[in-house]
Amino acid sequence: MGMISGWGRYPKIDAEEMSFESDHHLQNLLNAPADSRTLIPRGLGRSYGDSSLAERVISTKRMDRLISFDDGTGVLVCESGVSIAEILNVFVPRGWFIPVTPGTKFVTIGGAIASDVHGKNHHLSGSFSNHIVWIDLALADGEIVRCSTKENRELFLATCAGYGLTGVVLRAAIQLTKVETPYIRQHTIRAANLDEAMAAFENNRNWTYSVGWIDSLSSGNSSGRSVIMLGEHASTGEIASFIKGAHSDAGRGASGKSRLTVPFDFPAFALNSFSVSTFNYLYYHKSTANPKDSLVKYQPFFYPLDGILNWNRIYGRRGFTQYQLVLPKESSREGLKEILKMASSGGNASFLTVLKLFGNEDLPYLSFALEGYTLALDFPITRYIFDELEKLDDIVKIHGGRLYLTKDCRMSIEMLRAGFPKLDKFLEVRERIDPQRRFASLQSKRLGL
């Protein structure tokens, strides 16, 4: 037994961790004499809240083998405990990239599927499940079933964004994306407020990647003041012309290795409205007023925080929560303004606030994305934070939005029902394949999943 938590370090529970290294080994674990304690698969624990927490967790850390790769089609078959970092290390030098990546590469393929993660390219490429050819899934009774959009379709749609509640993903076939270089051509735009930021996203929809960092403490006419980063995989020709040009960032921070680490918990007072607004002010004004082009290695573009090991410790011992919401396109502008107004006035400084544009809604029943805008805000756990978040819930609900389960540790059943119209389809599949609810997490119990 030992204490485990998600990335937000709240909540923490005492759990027994089991791991397995083959299908047969997992089947033995699942068929062992009945144990009333709940069970949930777990990857690298990068979900923020309680979706990978249970009395017993089945770690996929020993299921870490690459099985096959077809150089003609770009289809990779690997075990579910392989991380995106490991895939990139092997495949970027061979000219292939992961089709969708979250903001950290330290997630497993099982975790990416179970949360149906999105990246900075959702408006063009959708979420992770759009790029999966098939999945092998171990059900609660140990049966192994292959599923995809064509085969056992309902099980596939319940397993992607299924948060481990349909079983353990053993293997997956994933369509990789061809790239010429490990570099990203980056274009940076400064936006004076939310309207300008949204215009920058809309006018640049043809860029493969886009993301906005928002100064969440700016208010009034400056509310939503942000720096928007656009990116494309650079071609070899572009690298050559950048190297000739004066403004190349190529090579700067190119190793992608972690150089910084947070070795201890920050005291709770370290991140307050004053320190966050000072940092935000400096960051915004550091970026030039004129749009800027640069060439950067893929690591700093996709994973800026992976360069600081254990950065989650800056929120102190009590931990933090990330509140990530999405609003439909038609209500995004008004809703985001209200959210930002409340976030900047509540006295709870969100250190990291990120805005992204989403494209079409994804097929899986509990996938997070809706066509519109998503905003993610980080808040330290304090005595009043959950009351404050309920006020944000009301805004999200009124504007027809939803919250992201992989970041959540406190959502209500009512909020879940309001946000996920396909919830009953998910529950039907769950009832059919695991009526005893052998697979359950703290989150699924809280939400009646």
213 backbone dihedrals φ, ψ, rounded to 5°: -100, 125
Give the residue carrying structure tokens 């309920």. Answer: 390
Cis peptide before 99 (omega within 30 of 0): no
Q: Which of 78, 117, 271, 409 is close enough to bind ligand FAD by CB under 6 A?
A: 117
* 52 is a site residue for ligand FAD (CB under 6 A): yes
Residues 366-395 interacting with ligand FAD (rule: CB under 6 A): none
Of the two residues 107 and 271, which places its CB atom closer to ligand FAD in the complex? 107
For 334-387, the DSSP string reads HHHHHHHHHHHHSS---S-EEEEEE-SPPSSTT----SEEEEEEEEE--TTHHH
Q: In Å, what is the CA distance from 410 to each residue of 7, 278, 389, 430?
A: 15, 30, 9, 22
Give the C-alpha separation, 111 to 221, whole Å: 40
Distance CA 10, CA 17 (A): 18
Least Å from the CB of residue 246 to ligand FAD = 33
Interaction between residue 84 and ligand FAD (CB under 6 A): no
The DSSP bridge partners found for residue 69 are: 76
Binding residues for ligand FAD, total number by CB under 6 A = 33
Residue 216 is a binding residue for ligand FAD (CB under 6 A) = no
Q: Which of 118, 185 has the CB closer to ligand FAD?
A: 118
Q: Which is nearer to ligand FAD, 110 or 359 (CB)?
A: 110
- For residue 225, the tally of other CB atoms under 10 A from its CB is 23
Within residues 411-430, the interface with ligand FAD by CB under 6 A covers none
Nearer to ligand FAD, 172 or 340 (CB): 172
CA geometry: angle at 215 spanning 279 and 329, to 5°? 160
CB of 137 to ligand FAD, least distance (A): 8
- Interface positions, 285-314, toward ligand FAD (CB under 6 A): 305
Q: Candidates 97-105, 197-205, 340-348, 378-386 — which segment interacts with ligand FAD by CB under 6 A?
A: 97-105
**Binding string, 3-42, against ligand FAD, x = CB under 6 A?**
----x--------------------------------xxx
Q: CA-based angle 418:420:422, to the nearest 5?
A: 130
Taking CB under 6 A as the rule, does residue 110 contact ligand FAD? yes
Are the beta carbons of 3 and 44 closer than 8 angstroms?
A: no
99 binds ligand FAD (CB under 6 A): no
DSSP 45: S
Tell me which of 9, 38, 69, 108 binds ligand FAD, using CB under 6 A: 108
45-53, 255-263, 277-285, 411-419 -> range binding ligand FAD (CB under 6 A): 45-53
Q: What one-character-per-residue DSSP string does 102-170 give?
A: -S-S--BHHHHHHTT---TTHHHH--GGGGEEEEEEE-TTS-EEEE-SSSSHHHHHHHTT-TTSS-EEE
Which of 111, 224, 346, 364 touches ligand FAD (CB under 6 A)?
111
- Cβ-count burial 306-330 (b if 16+ within 10 Å, e if not): bbeeebbbbbbeebbbbbbbbbbee
Find the part of the chain contacting ligand FAD (CB under 6 A) among 90-98, 108-116, 213-221, 256-264: 108-116
For residue 192, give the DSSP letter. Answer: S
Identify which of residues 164 and 224 has a Cβ nearer to ligand FAD in the complex: 164
For the bound state, the minimum distance from the C-beta of residue 81 to ligand FAD, rounded and expressed in Å, comes to 7
- For residues 135 to 174, the per-residue mask of contacts with ligand FAD, x marking binding by CB under 6 A and - elsewhere, is ----------------------------xx---xx-----
Query: Footprint of ligand FAD on this chain (CB under 6 A)?
Result: 7, 40-47, 51-52, 60, 80, 102-104, 107-108, 110-112, 114-115, 117-119, 163-164, 168-169, 305, 406, 441
